[in-house]
């Protein structure tokens, strides 16, 4: 599966940095995600124009802080993005 987003490498998150990204929608129902690290790599996905703190996540998942966990996280984000695109096409 092609990765749709330019997510920083695992080392970025191991240094306690956060990252957010997304895709703009013509219908103004943007796809957004945020990655942060705790005991795991935590990903939240939400739709819309609001920032994360003002939004309701539509999906959340956690992954091990390993290269394998990082790769699974990228797949999760892409799968969420593909689902969003299907929803966008239906509305």
In sequence order, which ranges of the chain are alpha helices (DSSP H)? 10-14, 67-90
Mean pLDDT across the chain, nearest whole number? Answer: 92
What pLDDT, on a 0 to 100 scale, did the predictor assign at position 1? 54
Model pLDDT for residues 16-33, shown as the tens digit of each residue: 999 999 998 877 789 999
pTM of the predicted model as reported, rounded to 2 decimal places: 0.91
Sequence-distant (≥ 6) Cβ neighbours of residue 58 within 8 angstroms? 45, 46, 47
């Amino acid at each position: 599966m092609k990765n749709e987003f330019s997510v920083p490498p695992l080392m970025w998150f191991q240094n306690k940095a956060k990252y957010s990204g997304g895709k703009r929608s013509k219908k103004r129902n943007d796809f957004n995600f945020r990655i942060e690290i705790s005991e795991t790599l935590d990903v939240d996905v939400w739709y819309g124009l609001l920032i994360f703190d003002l939004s309701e996540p539509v999906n959340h998942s956690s992954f091990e802080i390993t290269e394998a966990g990082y790769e699974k996280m990228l797949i999760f984000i892409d799968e969420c993005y593909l689902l969003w695109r299907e929803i966008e096409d239906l509305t």
